[in-house]
Amino acid sequence: MITEASLRTHLDAQARPPGSLGRIEDLAVQLALIQQTATPRADRVTLLVFAGDHGLTEDGVSRYPSAVTQAMVATLLAGKATANAFARAVGAEVVIVDAGVDADLPTHPALIEAKVRKGTRNAAREPAMTQDEVGLALRRGAEQAEAAIARGAEILLLGEMGIGNSASAALLMHRLAPAPLADCVGAGAGHDAAGLAHKLAVLTRAAERSDATEPLEVLRQFGGLEIAMMAGAIHGAADCKTPVVVDGFICTAAALVAIRLRPEVRDACLFAHRSAEVGHDRMLKALGAEPLLNLGLRLGEGTGALLALPLLCAAAALMSEVANLDDVLAGRI
């Protein structure tokens, strides 16, 4: 069995000062422990972008209408979104998963049809999902992770697209971090002060509607279908001993759900970046997570996870490819 002690010993024996690569050494150890190999791999990487709509948009929690979700899914499938550009730059595959877009999407080679329903219900007025819908979304998320790994993915990246999903994520954080709701609600896709105040008022009504604190019930009351599927994908990746890279605020809310349901999957999660979205830093701290990057990002789509990928590739190469100091000194290189 691969142990942290044996991996640290291996790194300390390399032809460089012990500890000289700081957090990259920690990352190398984490990758090796997740994959349970002394030679971790990061050559084949898949970004799963889960898309879904939110009934909360009926009450104006976003400055954009739900129709933008479908439009952005089309942009991703056309290879013209920011995530596509970043994925080409770092050599990652992009797969879009329809978790609950409020439209019938045309077939596409890069689109997986996993729709549970056309958008969630309005969580300010009623539960967002039924128990059966929550269970189905979690299962389908795990299945998508397992399928990507079966196709050869050595690392999974998570991304999302869904107008209104920062509102859902804020409610999940409020109950599961937990944290005061006002500390969880940010500008999302670009609210001004008036829009932000309105968003907080709507989410306050939603929070007052249910006192749920148990993870599955919180997800049923407030969650998005794409958030539920990402939580399931984390479970699936962990079960397959595959690292899963968590993107920004919404993805971290999915990780929060996944970890509150199954605390052991925390070990499979790598947190890509600290978002500029209000509440993300506090949610990361609730998970004991120190992200790899801090670039002021707040786009989603998996863009932060893609930007963190070169660090993972370097960490894997560090563990696998650097010479032992004794071999260097003995002239065996």
Q: Which residues are catalytic?
A: 301
Distance (Å, rounded) from C-alpha 275 to C-alpha 297?
Answer: 5
Contacts (Cβ under 8 Å, ≥6 apart) of 233: 48, 50, 141, 142, 144, 145, 156, 158, 244
Distance (Å, rounded) from C-alpha 270 to C-alpha 232?
Answer: 16
Burial of residue 282, with CB atoms counted within 10 A of its CB: 0-12 exposed, 13-18 middle, 19 or more buried: middle
DSSP 206-247: HHHH----SHHHHHHHH--HHHHHHHHHHHHHHHTT--EEE-
**Which of 310, 266, 305, 260 has its CA nearest to residue 289?**
266
Q: Are 159 and 48 contacting, i.e. CB atoms less than 8 angstroms apart?
A: yes
The DSSP bridge partners found for residue 293 are: 273
User: Sheet holding 269-271: strands in order across?
Assistant: 111-113, 93-100, 45-52, 155-161, 244-246, 269-271
Distance (Å, rounded) from C-alpha 225 to C-alpha 43?
Answer: 30
- For 269, phi and psi rounded to 5 degrees? -95, 135
Q: Are strands 93-100 and 45-52 parallel, antiparallel or unpaired?
A: parallel
Distance (Å, rounded) from C-alpha 127 to C-alpha 57?
Answer: 14
**Which of 223, 266, 324 has its CA nearest to residue 10?**
324
Distance (Å, rounded) from C-alpha 227 to C-alpha 120?
Answer: 11
Using omega within 30 degrees of 0 as the cis cutoff, is the peptide bond preceding 106 cis? no
